[in-house]
C-alpha cells in the first residue's frame, strides 16, 4: 500500500490535508494522527470492518480492545451508558485530555472495536489535529497507539513512518506529542474505580474526585484473566534486552561495572537520569532528563528507547526511579519495556 504522508504545521492552514484524511476515515481507511499523548492509528469506530485493518497493520492481537476518540464530550451518551454518577464529573475535569474512561458500551459500538467486551474506553483528545480530524470525519475514531504491536509508542512523526509506512493509508505528521505517554485508563464500571493503565492523570488526581480509586497492580490477573486485556502482552519493548536495576546509584554503578559488555557480543548502554550520568563514566549513557522533572522523563522515554534501537546496542541497563504520581506511570512503562526484568540491589 502507498501511504500518503501529509505534513501539518498549522491545523487551520493545512485543513485540506485534515479533510482528505477525514474522507479516508469515512471510507473505511486507516489514518495515523498526532494526539497530545502519543500518535494514534485511527479508523471509523462505527464501521464493523475497519477495526480488523488496524489489528492487521499493527500486528496486534485481536483480543486487545481499541480506545474510541470523540471531539465533542456532549455526544458521549450516543455511545455509552453513563451508569456511574461520577462519569460526568471526570469528563468535566479531565476532558479534553489524557484520560480514557471505560464505560458500558451501547450496541452502536461494534464488538470488533472492543474485542467482544461489553465495555468501551472513551477519550476526548485535546490535540487540535486530532479534534479536527474527528470533527471532519463526523464519526468517532477508534485508535490504538500508532506503533507496531509490542514496540514503544510513537511520539514523533518519524517514529510512525518507521513503523507504519506502507501499512496505512495516511500519516498526518503534526510534530512531537506534548505528553509522550499514553492516556490514563480508568475503569468506572468497577466499584471501586480501577486505574488499568497509569498515565499523566495520576491516582492522586483521580482520588480527588473519588477517594476510593485504586491502582491495578501491573500484572494483576483475576483467575488468569487480565483486568485490561492489554496487560498480558509485552509492551513498549525496545529491540535490545532491558534490565531494570533498583537501588542506590552507587550500588547500581558497581553492579554495572561488574557485568558491562563482559559477555561476548554484548553492546551495552545505561539508561538513567541526568543527575546520575556521572556514576557511569566511560560507558554509553542515555539520559531521560532531570530526575525531578517527571514530565520531561515521561515525554522522553519512548523517543530515547527508539533512539537506542537505531544503534547496535543489544543490552540496556536502566536505573529504577522511585516516586509516586507520574513516576508510577513512568515505571509502569519501563517495567513493561524490560519485560518485568527488575533486579533489586
Positions touching Mg ion (CB under 5 A) are: 145
**Segment contacting ligand TXA by CB under 6 A, of 89-97, 118-126, 237-245, 276-284:** 118-126
Cα 96–102–106 angle (5° rounding)?
A: 100
User: 198 is in the binding site of which of Mg ion, ligand TXA, none (Cβ under 5 to 8 A by kind)?
Assistant: none
Handedness of CA 58, 41, 226, 343 (dihedral sign): positive
* Cβ nearer to ligand TXA, comparing 143 with 301: 143
Judged by CB under 6 A, the residue of 183, 202, 328, 332 near ligand TXA is 183
Nearest to 146 by CA among 230, 59, 218, 209: 59
**Cell 523517543 belongs to which residue?**
303
The SS3 of residue 56 is helix
Piece of 20-28, 222-230, 247-255, 304-312 that binds ligand TXA (CB under 6 A): 222-230
Rule CB under 6 A: is residue 53 a binding residue for ligand TXA? no
Pick one of ligand TXA, Mg ion, none as the site partner of residue 117 (Cβ within 5 to 8 A by kind): ligand TXA
> Which of 64/272 has CB closer to ligand TXA?
64
Q: Which residue is nearest to ligand TXA (CB)?
A: 230
Q: Is 301 in the site for ligand TXA (CB under 6 A)?
A: no
Q: Segment near ligand TXA (CB under 6 A), from 111-119, 167-175, 242-250, 326-334? A: 111-119
**By the rule CB under 6 A, 8 interacts with ligand TXA:** no
What are the grid coordinates assigned to 329, written together?
506511570
**Residue nearer to ligand TXA on the CB measure, 229 or 249:** 229
What lies within 8 Å, CB to CB, of 157 at 6+ separation is: 34, 39, 171, 173, 174, 175
Residues 248-287 that bind ligand TXA (CB under 6 A): none
Report d(CA 18, CA 176) in Å as an integer: 17
Q: Which does 163 bind (CB under 5 to 8 A by kind): Mg ion, ligand TXA, none?
A: none
Q: Does 45 bind ligand TXA (CB under 6 A)?
A: no
* Cell numbers placing 21: 484524511
List 222's β-bridge partners, or say none.
Answer: 225
Residues between 74 and 93 with contacts to ligand TXA, criterion CB under 6 A: none
Dist CA 255 CA 257 (whole Å) = 5
As a whole number of angstroms, the distance between CA 125 and CA 235 comes to 22
Size of the site for ligand TXA (CB under 6 A): 28
- Which residues ranging from 10 to 39 are in contact with ligand TXA (CB under 6 A)? 35, 37-38
> Is residue 66 a contact residue for ligand TXA (CB under 6 A)?
yes
Q: Which of 295, 310, 283, 153 is nearest to 319 (CA)?
A: 283
Instruction: Kindly tell me the burial class for residue 264, based on how many C-beta atoms sit within 10 Å of its own C-beta (0-12, 13-18, 19 or more).
Output: exposed
Tell me the C-alpha distance between 227 and 222, whole Å.
7
For residue 119, state whether it binds ligand TXA (rule: CB under 6 A): yes
Q: How far is the CB of 242 from ligand TXA (least distance, A)?
A: 19
Q: Is 214 in the site for ligand TXA (CB under 6 A)?
A: no
Dist CA 198 CA 331 (whole Å): 10
The residue with cell 552507587 is 250
* Interacting residue ranges for ligand TXA, rule: CB under 6 A: 35, 37-38, 40, 64-67, 100, 102, 114, 117, 119-121, 123, 143-145, 182-183, 185, 187, 196-197, 228-230
Amino acid at each position: 500500500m502507498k501511504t500518503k504522508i501529509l505534513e501539518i504545521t498549522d491545523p487551520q492552514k493545512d485543513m485540506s490535508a485534515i479533510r482528505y484524511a477525514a474522507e479516508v476515515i469515512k471510507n473505511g481507511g486507516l489514518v495515523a494522527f498526532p494526539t497530545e499523548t502519543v500518535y494514534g492509528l485511527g479508523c471509523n469506530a462505527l464501521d464493523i470492518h475497519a477495526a480488523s485493518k488496524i489489528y492487521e497493520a499493527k500486528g496486534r492481537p485481536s483480543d486487545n480492545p481499541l480506545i474510541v476518540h470523540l471531539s465533542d464530550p456532549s455526544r458521549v451518551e450516543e455511545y455509552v451508558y453513563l451508569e456511574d454518577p461520577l462519569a460526568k464529573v471526570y469528563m468535566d475535569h479531565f476532558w479534553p485530555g489524557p484520560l480514557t474512561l471505560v464505560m458500558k458500551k451501547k450496541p452502536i459500538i461494534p464488538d470488533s472495536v472492543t474485542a467482544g467486551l461489553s465495555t468501551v474506553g472513551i477519550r476526548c483528545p485535546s490535540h487540535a489535529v486530532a479534534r479536527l480530524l474527528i470533527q471532519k470525519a463526523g464519526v468517532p475514531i477508534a485508535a490504538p497507539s500508532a506503533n507496531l504491536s509490542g514496540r514503544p509508542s510513537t511520539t514523533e512523526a518519524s517514529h510512525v513512518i518507521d513503523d507504519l509506512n506502507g501499512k496505512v493509508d495516511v500519516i498526518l505528521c503534526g510534530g512531537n506529542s506534548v505528553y509522550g505517554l499514553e492516556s490514563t485508563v480508568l475503569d468506572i464500571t468497577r466499584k471501586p474505580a480501577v486505574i488499568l493503565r497509569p498515565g499523566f492523570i495520576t491516582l492522586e488526581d483521580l482520588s480527588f474526585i473519588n477517594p476510593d480509586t485504586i491502582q491495578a497492580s501491573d500484572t494483576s490477573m483475576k483467575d488468569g484473566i487480565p483486568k485490561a486485556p492489554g496487560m498480558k502482552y509485552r509492551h513498549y519493548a525496545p529491540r535490545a534486552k532491558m534490565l531494570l536495576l533498583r537501588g542506590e546509584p552507587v550500588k547500581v554503578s558497581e553492579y554495572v561495572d561488574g557485568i558491562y559488555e563482559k559477555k561476548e557480543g554484548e553492546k551495552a548502554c545505561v539508561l538513567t537520569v541526568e543527575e546520575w550520568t556521572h556514576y557511569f563514566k566511560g560507558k554509553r549513557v542515555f539520559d531521560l532528563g532531570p530526575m525531578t522533572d517527571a514530565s520531561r522523563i515521561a515525554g522522553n522515554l519512548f523517543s530515547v528507547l527508539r533512539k537506542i534501537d537505531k544503534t547496535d546496542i543489544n543490552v540496556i541497563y536502566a536505573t529504577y526511579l522511585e516516586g509516586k504520581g507520574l513516576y508510577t506511570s513512568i515505571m509502569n512503562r519501563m517495567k513493561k519495556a524490560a519485560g518485568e526484568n527488575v533486579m533489586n540491589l
